[in-house]
Amino acid sequence: MDSPQLIGDCLIQVFTYLSDADLISASGVCKYWHEVAETPWLWWRMCLHRWNFCNLSALGSEQSWKRYFLQRSHLEIKMTKGQSGGYTCKSLRGHTGRVVGLVYLQGNSSQLPNLQSSNAIVCSASSDGTVRAWNVQNGGLLWCSPVQSPLTGILTDEECKIVITSDSTGLVKTWQGQTGQEVASYSTASPHCTLLQYNMNNGWFLTIGTSQGSVCTLAGCSLSKKSNVVVCDSFTVNLLLVSPDKKWIMAGTTQGADSSPKVIFSESLTSSSGDEGPLSQLVPVSGCQAAVFIPTQPARLAVIHHSGNRRDNALTVFDVSIKKMKYKIEIQVQQVESFPLMLSAWSSGLHLAAKSSNCMVLAAGEQLWLYSLKGVLLSSFKDHTGPITSISVDSFRVVTASQDLSLRVLTWRNHRDGGLTLESRYHLLGGSHTMARGFTHVACDYSSIVASVEGNDGKDVLKAYSFTS
């Protein structure tokens, strides 16, 4: 006769083929099945299969893999459905000018989510000359900087809790994220600055694209100058990206039809040794419209650019690498894929983001497309009735902001063959058209969405949508 332990092991193996709903149903069959269905290993396996990485400590003292799975699933159902009562919406008021950017200083990570509550903090910069930090869940203002010249850009370093801003005089400042205290400043004398922050070789760096076509690199929160190099004469550097492996900086402009972006070896920007110029290479395209590094690859770059007739556009993918020879070092920019894009709407700008090694999100006008890196159109959407102004892409969803005063939420769907598609779920409204002109910026963490609404009175408002389990 088989032992109870052997029978239990066999039953556990059978239960691995069940979904979470079926496993819960099986636990109600009898007391013995209930005990087997409560086996922590079954729920741990189910958690890792669904989310790859899970943080049991997020549950506090009541640690249970089953509880973690059910709570997180419940939260994601709320975020997927977007029904009234599944989220709260707060209006964050205080700016007396246009919001020029908003970024999370502290977010609820999808890898380490807090399932009980969110302590997310978002920072916004405005033409009123202030940067403000907000508690996303309760809508409270945490701090406001002193008034300066109209701000033009903002970004944050979540790890170091540092906020970086630029203003219309070219003054770049760093702020202590918890208190709002100014840390350091640096003048670029450029009315437009494009900001890029990254950490490399245990160092903190800030690279700035200027209106003079140069790229200036500063080190440390004290903003000590490391280098300044010209990238494109007479055009503003408004494209600035760093590769996932931090070895490469891409710098370029969308203003020059004949201009080509450059990839620069980042160490040649951040080191102060020698008088030689930075190690760089032109990307063999012109008329760049948008670009993004693929997040799951060390240095794979996708660029949307003019192709042949300047009314035509293409998306080309390159791999960037370094080749060491006996007497010199060369950068290699090798084409991987290229395909034409049939875009009819360009007036509102173009937005490009990458989800995985084979998935690109593209928005232009009122439309959103999902492409593979080989040019296969996976999905397309025209949910908006006004131009898309901003997109946010993460591991769970895509959120689009539009001048039609709505946010559209789409979620990722994994197919059995390993492919990805998007499903349109619902929309969030930002108010009345008699009071506002539409959404201008959007940012997300795992359990919240924050967007800026352009007010007809010149005073922009932030809308914060929070989902909790």
pLDDT in tens, 68-125: 888 888 898 999 999 888 899 999 999 999 999 999 999 888 877 877 777 899 999 9
Q: Order of strands across the sheet with 377-381? A: 350-356, 359-364, 367-371, 377-381
Mean pLDDT for the chain? 88
pLDDT in tens, 124-159: 999 999 999 999 999 999 999 999 999 999 999 999
Looking at residue 114, what is its pLDDT? 79
Instruction: Write down all domains in the chain, each with its CATH number in brackets.
Output: 4-79 (1.20.1280.50)
pLDDT in tens, 311-332: 788 999 999 998 887 778 889 9
